[in-house]
Amino acid sequence: MLSDESLQELERHVNACDEAREKLQSALDDAESVGTDAPADKKAAALEPVADAIKQWRDHQKAFMDAVEESEAPDVPMAALFLKNKADVDATNARRGLPGAHVEGTDQPFDLDLTGTRGTILTNAIMEL
């Protein structure tokens, strides 16, 4: 069983991962709206928020994994189960594998659409920034 303090710490990191995911989706939408005919500098500027959101998500995932390690939970899946049962918090985004920003312990698939322009934007942001 996890202490209330451990649960709160894990929940804080899960919420931060959820927020970073929302930022990534918004940044991808914004970058996609720039269009392929935009000047190169405008397209490049649109990649920065995408890369920043991925970095934030990765950093919050690392903090979540560190909190799991410091808690009484035997592993990440069990910590996620405790969170779900005790606090009704879904830790899926804290456990998603991020393209180009792997965090050890992530075991859930990345579920954003990476086809077409959005996939190109995400790939470019990861590779260039």
Residues 6+ apart with CB under 8 A from 45: none
pLDDT value of residue 40: 84
Residues 6+ apart with CB under 8 A from 104: 65
93 vs 112, residue with greater confidence:
93
Containing domain of residue 69, as a range? 4-128
Residue 76 has pLDDT above 90, yes or no: yes
pLDDT grade, residue 104 (50/70/90)?
very high
Residue 39 has pLDDT above 80, yes or no: yes
| Total of domains in the chain | 1
Residue 36 has pLDDT above 80, yes or no: no
pLDDT grade, residue 41 (50/70/90)?
confident
Residue 126 has pLDDT above 80, yes or no: yes
Residue 21 has pLDDT above 90, yes or no: yes
User: Cβ–Cβ contacts within 10 Å for residue 56, how many?
Assistant: 17
With beta carbons less than 8 A apart as the criterion, state whether 94 and 17 touch: yes
pLDDT value of residue 38: 81
Region 83-110 average pLDDT:
93
Tokens 């077409």 belong to residue: 116
**pTM score of the predicted model:** 0.91
